[in-house]
Structure 1
Amino acid sequence: MAIDFKEIPSPCFVLEEELLRKNLELIDSVQKAAGCQIILALKGFSMYSAFPIVKEYLSGATASSLNEVKLINDFMGYQSHTYMPAYLDSEFEEIMQRSSHITFNSLSQWERFQGRVEAYKAANPGKTLSCGIRVNPQYSEVATDMYNPCVPGSRLGVTRDKLPDELPAGIDGIHFHTLCENGSDTLERTLAALEERFGDLLHQAKWLNMGGGHLMTREGYDISKLIKLVSTIKEKYNLEVILEPGSAIAWRTGILYTTVLDVLDSQGIDVAILDTSFAAHMPDTLEMPYKPAIRGAHQEPVEGKPTYRLGGMTCLAGDYMGDYSFDKPLEIGDKIIFEDMIHYTMVKTTTFNGVNLPSIGIWKADQSFQLVRSYGYESFKDRLS
């Protein structure tokens, strides 16, 4: 049944429970067939009001900050798989207490904290804490440098020439993350590069974390190849395999519901100003960049149809997207629905220019709407001083 938009405020991120469950069911089938563990990456999807649903299918989550670690502990009840490019001395004790796995970005980070890890384990013999090292296989097919962890001079992960012939004592696992919304064919080529450079160390490891970017819920993704790749490397090196997707879990599970505030002519270009912001609420559209799909609109201009450039409500000159064609002229009060707006949106929004954050809600499986959160002046003020 379609969403009843009369119940929903504007602007609002709306997660559809049934679509989330559909993704999670597929992901759960993959981890069972491949014999691996698939966990949620909070950096892409941290909507903790949906964590009870996620917990029904996944047995873990991964964090890249102490705040994300706490969110996992508090709202999923799991110890975190934790990776940070660098750890703070003041936070590390709490990270050890709250994590089951800690991955280090460099040998110097491991050497700096190794003594504290060993002391913590000795003082807490009943606590499971496994440490790993992030490696850079120097192979990635990510086209946008901002999202490519293998660009020359990358700060993320250790290249093979910097590692000894044996894994350092105390390091149990190897972690890589070089994919970004890629298919299993990309993973296949990435694993070949990984094995070429790190195969000897994989034989010594207890676990391999393949990071995120596995967009297994996208239509056309070769699931059978993913299962085969994971199963093969698991058996070949006799290790546990972990995948930590973010986008795949929330892929096409919801929308950003917005309203037209004004329509104007700007030097021959029709512009519609919305009650949202591309810069503040959908930053990836400008950073990646990409052009988000709009329900009922033509993605590119169509000759003879009403065509508009869509503007955000901040004062940033570049806060716009377009152009889009519609089947009828836009009017003030019309609703614009941006598709696939649940991953890498809420986690990256800002209150730039004092613009309120969109509300957050869930369209539940019983066809009711749950308003989870709304924002106002206090939300803006609390981020400032």
Structure 2
Amino acid sequence: MNNTAPSPCFVLDEQKLENNLSLIKRVADQAQVEIILAFKGFAMWSAFPIVRKYITGATASSVHEMMLCNEHMKTKSHTYAVAYKDDDIDQILEGSSHITFNSLSQLERFGEKANDLGVSVGLRVNPEYSDVETDLYNPSSPTSRLGVKSENIINDLPDYVEGLHFHVLCESNSYALEKTLASFEDKFGHLLPNIKWLNMGGGHLMTRKDYDTGHLIQVLKAFKAKHKLHLILEPGSAFAWETGTLKTTVIDLVENGGVKTAIIDGSFTCHMPDCLEMPYRPKLANGYPEVDKGQYKYRLGGVSCLAGDFLEAYSFDKPLNVGDEIEFLDMIHYTMVKTSTFNGVQHPAIGLKKKNGDFELIRTFDYSDYKKRLS
């Protein structure tokens, strides 16, 4: 990585992003489906001029994401939110080409108005199948607040409902999608003759090296031919998968109870929350998540005062010293979008590694960014 990047800093690799975008466009073209960007996974709008070379749409889950889509993807959004407020609905409808409602009550409340304004109306459903094992990321449980279960759709949907939507996958493969579609057809197949589009949500990790894109294309083409529907996929992780890093620096070394901890100028709770929520152990450019692979072992400690702001020991080939770089891999998707300034911790800068190898510093953060979030 270019040494001109400050620390801490998120660094997006332009070439790796374009590689992912090229694959996504190829899948969309060959399967004759629409693949759009989910801002919940990747919303680095300074990179959207690159994204727009390959795809034209995006999905939003709030007023602010919709505004970002309008301004920087330069298109109206496919919008889904768990619930819409009366104060927001007019603005949402103005900036959306599609709107999906999470419940029958919200559909009844706002659906006809959306249709009258020319916005394509959809309903999120729960097919009650998912391969996601972590409860925090599983939206298809029987008691989930996300989507309508088939048992609650007693009558046909209103004529103005043009689409259905499900989102039950998380970094899943095409075989999980195939099983999801079987469950979806079983529970909601009777509704398919009366709709125009089906949004299959996100979680389609088609840019992962072991993903069977040929099978994905086959599944999508078969479903499209069977039901004569316009199909939409909205992955987030797939766009930014393995496209960049978070550069940090060791600023102290402490030892207690026989455990050595390398304190970095980043934070897991502030900058890498999935490491604590999932839990997820990222790979390093210069160390190993396997504790016995390297000779020297260190916990990695964040700089916030939260007691749990650390990851259990990583191993290294040589001792760590103050000033050494710790570079976390695959830190662009579902990381930058979740950061906070808890404890006043310095937010990482944002930069771009250009295709020619040069580093471009896009954004730095200072006291005013922290202050403006408070009052």
TM-score tier by shorter-chain length is over 0.9
Q: Does 1:357 align with 2:354?
A: no
**What is the TM-score with the length of structure 2 in the denominator?**
0.98
The partner residue of 2:244 within 254, 259, 262 is 254
Q: Does 1:377 align with 2:367?
A: yes
Q: How does 1:200-239 map to 2 (within 5 A)?
A: 200-239=190-229
Deviation per residue, 1:295-353 (Å, 9 max, x gap):
12122112771100010000000000121110000000000000000001111001010
Change (3 A) 1:317 1:195: same
The percentage of aligned residue pairs carrying the same residue is 54
- The 2-side partners of 1:253 and 1:59 are apart by 20
- Structure 1 unaligned residues grouped into runs of 5+: 122-128
1:12 equivalent among 5, 9, 14: 9
1:140 corresponds to: 130
Quote the Cα distance in structure 2 between the aligned partners of 1:193 and 1:341.
33
Q: What residue in structure 1 maps to residue 152 of structure 2? A: 162
Q: Which residue of 1 aligns with 2:333?
A: 343
Aligned counterparts of 1:183 and 1:50: Cα–Cα separation in 2: 26
Q: Tell me which moved more, 112-121 or 67-76.
A: 112-121
- Cα shift at 1:118: 4.2
Contact 1:301–1:323 (CA under 8 A) maintained in structure 2: yes
**Structure-to-structure mapping, 1:1-385, within 5 angstroms:** 3-4=1-2, 6-121=3-118, 129-302=119-292, 305-385=295-375
- Structure 2 unaligned spans of 5+: none
**Alignment partners' CA distance in 2, 1:117 and 1:270:** 58
Q: Quick one: distance in 1 between partners of 2:113 and 2:189?
A: 29
Q: Give distance in 2, aligned partners of 1:302 and 1:142.
A: 29
Between the aligned partners of 1:167 and 1:224, the Cα distance in structure 2 is 34
In the comparison of the two structures, how many residue pairs are matched? 375
The letter for the 1-side match of 2:363 is R
- Tell me if structure 1 keeps the 8 A contact 2:248–2:326: yes
The answer to whether the 8 A contact 1:216-1:222 is kept is yes
Across the aligned residues of Structure 1 and Structure 2, the Cα RMSD in angstroms comes to 1.1
Structure 1 residue matching 2:188: 3-state secondary structure = helix
Alpha-carbon separation, structure 1, partners of 2:264 and 2:336 = 18
Residue pair 2:294, 2:317 contacting (<8 A) in 1 also: no
Query: Does structure 2 retain, via aligned residues, the 8 Å contact 1:7–1:369?
Result: yes
2:9–2:247 Cα contact (<8 Å) kept: yes
Native 8 Å contact 2:14 2:353 kept in 1: yes
Q: Distance in 2 between matches of 1:197 and 1:179?
A: 17
Between 206-215 and 111-120, the greater mean CA deviation after superposition = 111-120
d(CA) in 2 for partners of 1:194, 1:101 = 21
8 Å Cα contact 1:292/1:339 also seen in 2: yes
In 2: Cα distance, 1:339 partner to 1:173 partner: 38
Aligned 8 A contact 1:45 1:246 in 2:
yes
Structure 2: how far apart are the matches of 1:72 and 1:304? 45
Q: For 1:100 and 1:59, how far apart are their aligned partners in 2?
A: 13
Q: Given residue 136 of structure 2, which amino acid in structure 1 is its aligned partner?
A: M
CA contact (8 A) 2:294 2:315 kept: no
- Mapped contact 1:291–1:322 kept (Cα < 8 A): no
CA deviations over 1:186-209 (Å, ceiling 9, x no partner): 011111000111111112210000
Matched letter for residue 207 of structure 1: W
- Name the CA distance, whole Å, in 2 between partners of 1:38 and 1:115: 27
